[in-house]
Structure 1
């Protein structure tokens, strides 16, 4: 779910039309709504479409988990269908992504979005634990229910507290790399590479469990489709930006390399997940037919048992 935009326009990307007023950057001819929402000075079509495509990418990631939450509620098999490795690596990627946003003093909207990702991860993991409780033995239900409630409570509390850090971060003028500690910047980019590794690693446990089950029942394809769309549009938003650069294109790509690797790598791996959904679709439909047959046969078996019991009583 890489989504961070490290613009750095005044230093390496675009020689934007900025003026300094009271220690703040003033955009003279920028697009008003983009300046208001993202604090970016957009003055040409390349920058404009880069921001629009990046916004589409962000929205795809924001809504990607909702279909999976519904699918888990409908099927009740999320503990069998979803890999715990997938969920934990996803959480690790979003946490390190959030750390990278803070360390590199990203825009408030990007930090809030990163917090929202962590919150949706806590919902998915809580749902996983809930159905693990429901489908497990009665002896473990009390302990697992407690673990589930604690996890969701802690996740909610943390996500309520974290936005306060946004105010502290936004209080510091985000002028250029000059006012930032090189150590913090290095740590931020290290978190970016770590998040990319986590995102890439998340797909392999899910691919394995799908192959092992020979089924994708209990998982929503929209989760992976929206992730593909988000990762693809994120990479496209960076490529669209290249013609507008007046600085070094290689420096721009290097600054975004960690997130590009994560986005395009996960985009590639999700094609394999898509192939599994196509391959195992017949298995899924056959399981549904068997369930329907079993549901239809149950009343017949019940009637036969009743008839047998009546005959035995008459004898």
Structure 2
């Protein structure tokens, strides 16, 4: 999940569009007003505009990607059989390190809030996984388990609601640091970006193995991977689209976004393999569902035939 600064936000692109009528208060002369207000983005040409819009589409896809799986887990009730815990763990690790990269590289407030939402949905998925694993392995229902799950989700929600404000309030402290310290902090942030990319890439392999081992994708929502593919694809496109508008070095710009590009495009390729598994195992899923549906209807008929034969 790419959480780097929007590709259009670059001093190489829009440096000439800023004037300073007041100390510390730059003004974008020819920029799009709503982008300037919402994203602090000075956009004055079609390439930058398309890049930012595609970036927003990418972010929206990622925001929605985990919700279908949350519903599927709630409906199915056997998420521990369908999902790999390694997939959830690496996904959560990637979002946490991506959050650290956002903070250390002074990303936009909207991106901080977005990555916090990613972490929140990761915690819901992990909580569902652990809840159903304990519930399905236990011989009797325990109301304490349900209350513990609700308490955990409530506490995590409160913490994550307060976290964006804390991060945004402290971003000014990072900006006020000395150039040397600021540079080292920024490098650390980009290292976190590379770590996040590695975690995202690693997240797909446990799930691919889990699906191969079961020869089925039942219990997992394809929308999780389809929306992730759309998000990763549109993120890469948003970086490419802005390249013609750059007035500075294209190589430097790509290097700054390389960590997130590797993660996004690498996961996109792996999700094609997940898609292939959904297609290959589709018959297995339908045959299992058909068997489960046919048992209640066939069983009484078999019993009646056995009774008649005895008579």
TM-score for the superposition, normalised by structure 1: 0.89
How far did residue 148 of structure 1 move? 3.8
CA contact (8 A) 2:6 2:52 kept: no
How far did residue 295 of structure 1 move? 2.2
| CA pair 218-16 structure 1, distance change in 2 beyond 3 A | farther
For residue 203 of structure 1, give the secondary structure of its aligned residue in structure 2: helix
For residue 73 of structure 1, give the secondary structure of its aligned residue in structure 2: helix
1:70 aligns with 2:68: no
For residue 242 of structure 2, give the secondary structure of its aligned residue in structure 1: helix
My pick for the range that moved more, 56-65 or 21-30, is 21-30
CA contact (8 A) 2:135 2:141 kept: no
CA contact (8 A) 1:15 1:246 kept: no
My pick for the range that moved more, 243-252 or 5-14, is 5-14
- In structure 1, the partner of 2:132 is 131
- In structure 2, the partner of 1:19 is 19
My pick for the range that moved more, 126-135 or 32-41, is 126-135
Residues of 2 paired with 1:22 and 1:303: CA distance?
Answer: 90
For residue 41 of structure 1, give the secondary structure of its aligned residue in structure 2: coil
- In structure 2, the partner of 1:2 is 2
How far did residue 152 of structure 1 move? 2.5
Aligned pairs (5 A) from 1:24-63:
24-63=25-64
For residue 135 of structure 1, give the secondary structure of its aligned residue in structure 2: helix
- In structure 1, the partner of 2:201 is 200
My pick for the range that moved more, 63-72 or 217-226, is 63-72
For residue 15 of structure 1, give the secondary structure of its aligned residue in structure 2: helix
- In structure 2, the partner of 1:185 is 186
How far did residue 171 of structure 1 move? 4.6
- In structure 2, the partner of 1:220 is 221
For residue 25 of structure 1, give the secondary structure of its aligned residue in structure 2: strand
- Structure 1, unmatched stretches of 5+, are none
CA contact (8 A) 2:58 2:231 kept: yes
| CA pair 249-91 structure 1, distance change in 2 beyond 3 A | same
How far did residue 196 of structure 1 move? 0.4
How far did residue 183 of structure 1 move? 1.2
| CA pair 269-242 structure 1, distance change in 2 beyond 3 A | same
- In structure 1, the partner of 2:112 is 111
Across the aligned residues of Structure 1 and Structure 2, the Cα RMSD in angstroms comes to 2.6
- Structure 2, unmatched stretches of 5+, are none
> 1:116-170 CA deviation, whole Å, 9 max, x = no partner?
0000111111111121122112379678657645642442233122112243145
TM-score for the superposition, normalised by structure 2: 0.90
Residues of 2 paired with 1:250 and 1:136: CA distance?
Answer: 54
> 1:237-276 CA deviation, whole Å, 9 max, x = no partner?
0000100000000000000000000000000000000000
How far did residue 66 of structure 1 move? 1.1
CA contact (8 A) 1:12 1:251 kept: no
